[in-house]
A and B are shown apart, each in its own frame.
Chain A
Amino acid sequence: MNMTVTPPAEPYLRVSATDKIYPSPHGEIVALSDINLDVQPGEFISIVGPSGCGKSTLMKCIAGLEDITSGSISVSGRPLAGPPDRMGVVFQRDVLLDWRTILDNVLLQAEFLGHSRAKYRDRAMQLLERFGLKGFENRHPWELSGGMRQRASICRALLCDPDLLLMDEPFGALDAMTRDDLNVELSRIWQGSNKTVIFITHSISEAVFLADRVVMMSRGPGRIVDVFDVDLPRPRPLSIRETEAFGVYAQRIRHHFAELGVIQE
């Protein structure tokens, strides 16, 4: 099993020997154990694993929302101190604000970052158009379907043109067809954007379909058990999932899940 990827000179994101331990009344809980991961600029990484494997914790650590117990995380060569610059995040729940219109929700990103709304208004409209939300900018979140809401939350994350996009099971709550749709859209938007994406999922096919590289995590303690490149041509149509090459990658992940006893092979 090839677990080491040739270390490149200057990774965009470097996680090294990172542990995250939570104290609890019943002793310590090791959420992350000895995580080592280098991510190249512009790379699309899928992190896949069963629930409880620490993948969301890892994302929160990279986002600067959680402190790590030991080890180090650096972005662009600088050790992390709080949330990195030029980062966008998307969660499983879209967390749009009900009292704001879709456009105002997207512009929230600029407001939080202390930029002027006026400067980003045109970009927000462009993003909404690219994600098929043209004409919905003045609607409220509750007037939109789950898929449209999640599209809006991706627009919000992309508004200030981040270098790093962190996505924590963003399509986990959507129905299968909407999910396929958004997989294709995300892939299309990402391609040629030069953005680094960390995409967390527990869907095997989603992980393979989107990624340049898949990171497989396991639980008890949360650790990386496998890393492999997905060498499939881009752009990838949905039908690529029926190809043999795709099947080999999916099988590799499924094998790990089976070893964990999460699924039966």
Chain B
Amino acid sequence: MKNSFAAKLMRDNRSLDIVLVLLGTIALWEVGVRIFNPPAIILPAPSAIWAAFMQSPWVFIRNMLYTLSTTGIAFAISVALGVIMAVGIVQSKFLERTVYTLLIAVNSVPKVALAPLFVIWLGTGMASQLAVAVMLAIFPIVINTVLGLRSVDPDMLNLAKATRASKFDIIYKIRVPNALPSLFSGMKVGISFALVGAIVGEFVAGGRGLGFLVLTAQGQFDTTRVFVSLVLLGVMGTILFYAVDVMERVALPWHSSQRQPNA
């Protein structure tokens, strides 16, 4: 491990690409709005969006932190619950045939459509928002973790059996570490879904949060403030995704996706 983390990030200049593409898009957008001059209610200029943010930054930041905390809590619940469920499903034929079958069946329902149901059950407020977010985020985590726990080389299991490894050893020394890369890819999808769930939760059960801000700004036809919220959501989503990515790199230095090409 000769190079540090930052150096590794810089090595693939993907981060540089992202910054350049974003700056280019913003510049084109600004120039386009100035030339064609569309009504602000259709498309505000980036400079106007920035000005709207600076007018009341704390309102936006407060609501952003609220959405962030909903997303974070929902994500943590999804990971904890998802891993427990996955281990149970892999360990027990009964749970596989009941819980897993149910999960797969429910997964094909457009879960966002269930959000209003949670408002009836749990009322408006954070509980409903959390429920919607967990419902969305937990599926990719459970399904990926189950696949990871199962995808052990059969010869590794033969070796373990021939060496009389205990069931505990097979789970904690082989299956669980083997499933970590899958768990992390489930978590990467899950974190984005948790954010989507939090926003949808705010749409239907809101009162606070960036989703709620989008809804109220839309009610006032204040397109500029809608865009401020959307930009903040984009920034948040990106940061959350990369946070999980960094966690993965720290936790799984041995995994093939982390290796240098010539290692």
- Is B56 close to A, CB under 8 A? no
A-B contact pairs, 27 of them (CB 8 A): A60-B158, A65-B162, A82-B164, A83-B161, A83-B164, A89-B163, A91-B155, A91-B159, A95-B155, A95-B156, A95-B159, A97-B156, A97-B174, A97-B177, A97-B178, A98-B255, A98-B256, A99-B180, A112-B164, A112-B165, A112-B169, A113-B163, A142-B254, A142-B259, A142-B263, A143-B263, A166-B162
Choose from B155, B158, B254 the contact partner of A99 (Cβ within 8 Å): B254
Q: How far is the CA of A140 from the CA of B259 in the complex (A)?
A: 11
Within 8 A of A (CB), among B148-206: 153, 155-156, 158-166, 169, 173-174, 177-178, 180
Whether A140 pairs with B254 at a CB distance below 8 angstroms is: yes
A112's contact among B163, B255, B259, by CB below 8 Å, is which? B163
Contact indicator B160/A112 (Cβ below 8 Å): yes
The interface residues of chain B lying within 8 Å CB-to-CB of A83 are 161-164
Is A87 interfacial (CB-CB < 8 Å)?
Answer: yes
- Residue numbers of B with Cβ under 8 A of A are 153, 155-156, 158-166, 169, 173-174, 177-178, 180, 252, 254-256, 259, 263
CA distance A64 to B174 in the complex (A): 21
**For residue A91, which residues in chain B have a CB less than 8 angstroms away from its CB?**
155, 158-159
Whether the Cβ atoms of A93 and B155 lie closer than 8 Å is yes
Q: Are A111 and B173 in contact (CB under 8 A)?
A: yes
A91: nearest residue on chain B (CB-CB)? B155
Asked if A33 CB lies within 8 Å of chain B CBs, one says no
B173: chain A residues within 8 A (beta carbon): 97, 108, 111
Distance (whole angstroms) from the CB of A16 to the closest CB of chain B = 22
For A148, list chain B residues within 8 Å (CB): none
Besides A93-B155, A97-B174, A142-B259, 7 more A-B contacts (Cβ < 8 Å) are A65-B161, A83-B161, A93-B153, A99-B177, A112-B163, A112-B164, A114-B166
Residue contact B153 to A95, C-beta cutoff 8 Å = yes
Q: Which of A99, A108, A109, A166 has the most CB of B within 10 A?
A: A99
Asked if A45 is at the interface (CB within 8 A of a chain B CB), the reply is no
Any B CB within 8 A of the CB of A227: no
A-B contact count (CB 8 A): 61
CA distance A83 to B165 in the complex (A): 11
Number of A interface residues in the complex (CB < 8 A):
25
Q: Which residues of A contact B (CB under 8 A)?
A: 60, 63-65, 82-83, 87, 89, 91-93, 95, 97-99, 108-109, 111-114, 140, 142-143, 166
Task: Check B256 against A142 for contact (C-beta < 8 Å).
Answer: yes
Minimal beta-carbon separation of B186 from chain A (angstroms): 18
Query: A89 near B162 (CB under 8 angstroms)?
Result: yes
Separation in Å of the A239 CB from the closest CB of chain B?
A: 34
Whose C-beta in chain B lies nearest to the C-beta of A156? Answer: B159
Complex contacts, B256 vs chain A, CB 8 Å: 98, 142
Give the complex CA separation of A114 and B177 in angstroms. Answer: 20
Q: Are A111 and B155 in contact (CB under 8 A)?
A: no
Q: What separation, in Å, do the CA atoms of A63 and B159 have in the docked complex? A: 10
| Contact status A109-B162, CB under 8 Å | no
- Chain A residues whose C-beta falls within 8 Å of the C-beta of B153 in the assembled complex: 93, 95
Q: Is the CB of A65 within 8 A of B177?
A: no
**How many Å lie between the Cα of A166 and that of B174 in the bound state?**
22
A95 and B256 alpha carbons, distance in the complex (Å): 15
Contact B255 A89 (CB under 8 A): no
Task: Please tell me if the beta carbons of A89 and B177 are within 8 angstroms of each other in the complex.
Answer: no
Roughly how many angstroms separate A143 CA and B153 CA in the complex, as a whole number? 20
Distance from B262 Cβ to chain A, minimum over Cβ atoms (Å): 11
CA distance A114 to B155 in the complex (A): 20
- Tell me the bound Cα distance from A98 to B127 in angstroms: 41
Least distance between A209 CB and chain B CB atoms (Å) = 25
Measured CB to CB, the nearest residue on chain A to B156 is A95
Closest beta carbon of chain B to A96's beta carbon, Å: 9
Min CB distance B90 to A, Å, is: 18
